[in-house]
């Protein structure tokens, strides 16, 4: 579903939501007045709201000129054709580039250095669509007419070139899923996840042990006594005791 265009809603309502987004998502924002006066992201959005209305009513040149002036003032370049929802927060903002056919849903957050860029020189939908509540980390590049699903997160400095599922976190170049997609509102949250390598026997250590046992058997030596500082065979576990090792040898 394409997010609605804020230009179809009340300008004042949208401005209120944009201002509230700064207060909610910028812990450094001192208050309403400070946010209004000192937020380049908010200034860029206000400028864009006007420029986009001009663009839609056919005033292409004044719209482009306005966007150009706002870019000079804020360091944020938003093409007047871009459709941006309400409650969007552009933090810091310097170096943000939002291309002509980009669509940004409600309550999205973009940090400085984000590019919503095109990969085609044709006049077609060539920039990303961000569904509602997407967070795009500093310096991330999202390229082409891709869709970033609702509640997705894009890691700082990632390069995203394909669709991102709803609720996913993607990182890296090219961006890949950082972990399994959790349903929105999952109480596990982003901070405590099971490490899949914990509790799994280290296959390299296991093979080395086997080889060592074979060599000792071929040389007619008794099985090696484990030493106390030996690495655990299972990550997250404790090193095996001598009795445990003897027992496992007896079994094999």
Binding region for ligand COA (CB under 6 A) = 91-92, 111, 137-138, 153, 155-158, 169, 171-172, 178-179, 190
In the 3-class helix/strand/coil scheme, how is the chain assigned residue by residue? Answer: CCCCCHHHCCHHHHHHHHHHHHHHHCCCCCCHHHHHHHCHHHHHHHHHHHHHHHHHCCCHHHHHHHHHHHHHHHCCEECCCCEECCCCEECCCCCCEECCCCEECCCCEECCCCEEECCCCCCCCCCCEECCCCEECCCCEEECCCEECCCCEECCCCEECCCECCCCEEECCCCEECCCCCCCCCCCCCCCCCCCCCCCECHHHHHHHHHHHHHHHHCCCCCCCCCCCCCCCECCCCCCCHHHHHHHHHHC
Least distance (Å) from ligand COA to the CB of residue 160?
12
* Least distance CB 135 / ligand COA (angstroms): 6
Q: How far is the CB of 173 from ligand COA (least distance, A)?
A: 8
How far is the C-alpha of 88 from the C-alpha of 20, rounded, in Å?
Answer: 9
Q: Compute the CA torsion angle 9, 13, 16, 21 (nearest 10 deg).
A: -40
- Residue 14 or 158: the one with the smaller Cβ distance to ligand COA is 158
CB of 207 to ligand COA, least distance (A): 24
Is the CB of 3 or the CB of 113 nearer to ligand COA? 113
- Residue 178 Cβ, how far from ligand COA at the closest point, in Å? 4
Task: Pick between residue 91 and residue 106 the one whose CB is nearest to ligand COA.
Answer: 91
For ligand COA, give the closer residue by CB, 28 or 33. 28
C-beta of 140: minimal distance to ligand COA in Å?
A: 8
Residue whose CB is less far from ligand COA, 22 or 63: 22
**Tally of residues, the chain:** 252
Smaller CB distance to ligand COA: residue 162 or 179? 179
């Amino acid at each position: 579903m394409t997010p609605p265009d804020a230009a179809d809603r009340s300008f004042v309502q949208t401005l209120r939501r944009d201002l509230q987004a700064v207060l909610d998502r910028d812990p450094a924002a001192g208050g309403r007045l400070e946010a209004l006066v000192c937020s380049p992201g908010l200034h860029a959005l206000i400028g864009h709201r006007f420029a986009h209305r001009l663009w839609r009513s056919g005033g292409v040149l004044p719209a482009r000129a306005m966007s150009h002036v706002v870019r000079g003032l804020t360091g944020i370049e938003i093409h007047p054709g871009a459709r941006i929802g309400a409650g969007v927060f552009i933090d810091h903002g310097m170096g943000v580039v939002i291309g002509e056919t980009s669509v940004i849903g409600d309550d999205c957050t973009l940090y400085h250095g984000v590019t919503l860029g095109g990969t085609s020189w044709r006049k077609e939908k060539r920039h990303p669509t961000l569904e509602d509540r997407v967070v795009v980390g500093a310096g991330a590049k999202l390229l082409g007419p891709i869709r970033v699903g609702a509640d997705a997160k894009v890691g700082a400095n990632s390069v995203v070139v394909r669709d991102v599922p709803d609720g996913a976190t993607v990182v890296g170049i090219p961006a890949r899923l950082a972990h399994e997609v959790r349903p929105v509102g999952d109480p596990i949250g982003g901070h405590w996840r099971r490490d899949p390598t914990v509790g799994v026997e280290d296959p390299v250590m296991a093979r080395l042990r086997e080889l060592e046992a074979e060599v000792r058997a071929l040389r007619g030596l008794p099985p090696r006594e484990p030493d106390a500082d030996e690495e655990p065979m299972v990550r997250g576990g404790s090193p095996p005791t001598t009795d445990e090792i003897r027992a496992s040898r007896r079994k094999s």
